[in-house]
Amino acid sequence: MATKSAPGLAGFQHRTALDKRAKPFDLYAIDPGATPFSSGDKVADKAMVESLAKDLDGLQDLLWADRRFKVLVILQGTDTSGKDGTIRGVFGQMSALGVRTIGWKAPTLHERAHDYLWRIHQQVPGDGEIVIFNRSQYEDVLVPVVNGQITKEQKLQRYAQINDFERMLTGNGTLVLKFLLLISKDEQRKRLQARLDDPTKMWKFEGGDIETRKHWKAYQSAYRDAVAATGTPWAPWTIVPADSKTHRNLMIATAMKEALVGLKLRYPPADPAMKGVKLK
């Protein structure tokens, strides 16, 4: 029931944007239906997700006590790719103390009066915090690209700005973890249809989803370019085959645990003056 170790994850990570010799990254080569982290037994996989989510709860408590690091988790993916489900399944056991989720929508008039990173920067984690972005600054190199609202030059400029921004964050103690949830066009059809057919899911359906689905190819291409350009040594992308929800959670929970364990967190040392003090 053991999850795959580090090398398994590395195969799905893209961090070579700055390495000119590296083979160009190709998102299309990854199968959304793959389940490399599965044990092959769905019940066992689900139990493992539960177990990992508990581990993550403990690690988050330690991160909050430690206060030396900040953690920014970015979840990107097309409609119905499972961003909400990931937050429930992987991060659901964590304390509200020290964890925040931001669901990014289209910018307001006030937000649009500033650079597109202005509202993003305001919400990044402080010391000890985990902040989960449900969508992110990457929307600004997807939607306007597909809709032809920015030029190619502006797109390249934004890639560079996002890379600079994330380097600044990591340089100031933030762990930036970016997950791209990959589903197939057919899986999306099933999930959208399920929303339409189920009165308890209908509220999640938006008319815009169908419009966006029409541009499936353009979005895939925009994702491919964005991931290739912004998978950096300081903030690599992890591509998550997500047609299987259990696999998606298993893989993200595994990656999260690995990343947090890698920080070598510790409870802050006690004040020597307080050592051995007996309260009366």
Q: How far apart are the first and last CA of the chain?
A: 49
Q: How far is the CB of 152 from its own copies (least distance, A)?
A: 15
Determine contact, residues 53/264, Cβ cutoff 8 Å. no
Q: How far is the CB of 124 from its own copies (least distance, A)?
A: 7
Q: Tokens standing for 71?
A: 């953690």
Q: How far is the CB of 98 from its own copies (least distance, A)?
A: 11
Nearer to its own copies, 4 or 67 (CB): 67
Nearer to its own copies, 108 or 200 (CB): 108
Nearer to its own copies, 25 or 159 (CB): 159
Phi and psi angles of residue 14, each rounded to the nearest 5 degrees, phi first: -115, 115
Point out which residues bind its own copies (CB under 8 A).
Answer: 70, 110, 113-118, 121-122, 124, 126-129, 157, 161, 164-165, 167-169, 171-174
Number of Cβ atoms within 10 Å of the Cβ of 6: 10
**AA identity, residue 69:** F
Nearer to its own copies, 171 or 207 (CB): 171
Nearer to its own copies, 82 or 128 (CB): 128
DSSP 8-state symbol, 256: H
CA nearest neighbour of 3 among 246, 254, 177: 254
Q: How far is the CB of 126 from its own copies (least distance, A)?
A: 4
Q: How far is the CB of 255 from its own copies (least distance, A)?
A: 24
Q: Tokens standing for 146?
A: 């597909």
